[in-house]
Structure 1
Amino acid sequence: MIKTLGKRAFAIVLSASVLGLAACSSAPEQEEIERVPNKSVQALYEDAKQTLDSGLYARAIELLSAINSRYPFGPYSHQVQMDLVYAFYQTGNTEQALATVDRFLRLNPNHKNLDYMYYMRGLINIKADENGFQEYFGIDRADRDPSRTRVAFQDLTTLVKNYPDSTYVPEAKKRLAWLLNKMARYELKVANYYFEREAYLAAANRGKYVVEHFSQSSYLVPALEMMEKSYAMLGLDELSENARKAKELNQQR
């Protein structure tokens, strides 16, 4: 009986501790909303928009979050969510930005501004893949897992294909070209890794992957060169010769 009561007491204390932690974690967010004046939705949004335009993104998030909480179905709800995405992006809060975008896309599949949301989703995934410290000091990041890059590429491809008349398409195409080179460069980095360790078939296959999937990138010739020398090391002379001819043909263009 004593042991049972002891376990129950422990469970009660543990539950209370967990609830206390949850209350503490949600307290700052609630405090942020409470710091926002009790104004009409129009007045609040005007304040939020002015703050956002001034580059005060943290304060803009406070104001926009308060509007979103107080008037979730109001006339500014969609615009508020789009502005929140931008503010989260500017502050580097990529996880919250992506969550807001995904929720918007899920709940508003026919909204007139979906092109903007796909554009922002692409930019957010690009930012999520960045490493400012290492890039600042010039450290080569070609070996980074490009999973976020692939998602960003898909986001911007969706924008270009589904919304060809969007004002965001020209910039999206520039970003796509950059992302294509980044993915091709990663594959060649891996190919070099395999080649240096005498895994020539794996190296050739990586080069072939670049040729098949990233032929529009600036890494087509290096990929063919990788295939040429890898096949040569394997004694596959015909394949090596074919890669050499394709390389020379593309060098002349």
Structure 2
Amino acid sequence: MKSIRRTAAVLAAAMTLGGCADEAQIKTAAEMYEEAQVFEGIADYAAAVTAYNELQATYPHGNYAQQAILNLAHLHYQEGKYDEALAAINQFIEEYPAHRHLDYARYLRGLVLLREKPDVIDKLLFEDFTNHSRTAAVEAYEAFLELAEKHPLSRFTPSAAAKAADIINALSLDELRTALHYLRIGAYSGALRRASDVTQKYPSNRYNEIALAIIVASLAEIQSPAPLQDAVAALEANFPDTTLSAPAQQGALALLDSLGEETVRGDLFTQLLE
């Protein structure tokens, strides 16, 4: 009997010690977060993503879990996994609208929407939208604008404001090129429409002087006297030192020549297609 009791006691002790050993192996949220940070620091992004996901699964609530979502978004952004990054950012903004890093989340959202590479973060130079959806560019602009409006004192706000201006200029330039193309081929209604879009949709862009001059030249070609006078007045009032008013009033060829643009007209078939 004593032998049986002794054996049972030994087994119980072994089970207790084994349980303590298992519990000792369970990492705290802080330890899991630190481990993920180490992986991120050595650029082992796959391991870092796994570690952050495990942290969220083990400790779904608390500051570490919240920060893990934002860190995951940044990692996906670094890897060029923009859809995953956007999903994480949207989750973070929706679930933690009062988080102290909400300003960075909004800033990162704008960068992700632009599909902008981290190593050229300060060089937003897209002259066309081959790699940038126009809709995404507008959404990025709105994200940067929202940051500037809701977090005016954020350290990210100056950069966000500058990028918002760059987006407006890029969108305007895209429209302006089309307007110039229409002017070149003699599609004056199209040129007038596109140039008007530049001035109305993006009133603070840097290309308004040229856009207004295209409007003047188009109206001169269409021979619409009253609107032409109004357009000339608008051009000269907004840009008192402009050198484009006189050539624009002479018509498309004179304006294109003053801008250094080609003046070869398209054939009738091309004009009809445009």
TM normalised by structure 1 equals 0.73
Distance 1:139-1:124 versus aligned 2 partners, 3 A rule: closer
Which stretch shifts more, 236-245 or 155-164? 236-245
Aligned length: 212
Task: State the AA in 1 paired with 2:196.
Answer: K
| Residues 215-250 of structure 1: CA deviation (Å, up to 9, x unaligned) | 322111111122111112211133234333433441
Amino acid at match of 1:61: V
1:212 to 200, 213, 235: 200
1:156 Cα deviation after fit: 0.7
Corresponding residue of 1:45: 33
Which residue is equivalent to 2:128? 141
Q: Structure 1 75/99 Cα, relative in aligned 2: closer, same or farther at 3 Å?
A: same
Say which SS state the counterpart of residue 60 (structure 2) adopts: coil
Query: Structure 2: where are the runs of 5+ without partners?
Result: 1-24, 243-274
> What residue number does 1:155 align with?
143
Q: C-alpha offsets along residues 68-119 of structure 1, whole Å, 9 cap, x if unaligned?
A: 2332224411100111111111111110011111112222223232211111
Residue 105 (structure 2) pairs with residue 109 (structure 1): no
Bigger mean CA deviation after superposition, 90-99 or 191-200: 191-200
Once the two structures are superposed, residues 156-181 of structure 1 have per-residue CA deviations (whole angstroms, 9 ceiling, x without a partner) of 11111111111211111111111110
- 40-49 or 79-88, which deviates more: 40-49
Q: Could you tell me the percent identity over the aligned residues?
A: 26
1:59 equivalent to 2:47? Answer yes
Rounded to whole Å, the distance in 2 between the matches of 1:121 and 1:50 is 25
Q: Distance in 1 between matches of 2:53 and 2:206?
A: 44
Distance 1:67 1:56 in 2: 17
Larger Rg: 2
> Using the alignment, how far apart are the partners of 1:164 and 1:216 within structure 2?
20
1:188-207 alignment runs, 5 A limit = 188-196=176-184, 198-207=186-195
Alignment-derived partner of residue 110 in structure 2: 122
Q: Which amino acid aligns with 1:163?
A: H
Task: Give the TM-score normalised by the residue count of structure 2.
Answer: 0.68
Structure 1 regions of 5+ residues with no counterpart? Answer: 1-36, 133-137
Aligned-residue CA RMSD (Å): 2.9
* 1:104-156 C-alpha deviation (Å, 9 max, x unpaired): 22222232322111111111111169xx9xxxxx9952576511110000001
2:39–2:48 Cα contact (<8 Å) kept: yes
Cα deviation, residue 210, structure 1:
1.5
| Distance (Å, rounded) in 1 between the aligned partners of 2:235 and 2:89 | 43
1:87 alignment counterpart: 75
* Contact 1:221 1:251 (8 Å CA) reproduced: no
Structure 2 residue corresponding to 1:247, chosen from 231, 235, 240? 235
- The CA distance in 1 between the partners of 2:185 and 2:26, in whole Å, is 66
Q: Which amino acid aligns with 2:228?
A: S
Return closer, same or farther for 1:199/1:38 CA change in 2, 3 Å cut-off.
Answer: farther
Question: Does the 8 A contact of 1:187 with 1:207 survive in 2?
Answer: yes
The separation in 2 between residues aligned to 1:94 and 1:85, in whole angstroms, is 9
Distance 1:237 1:52 in 2: 66
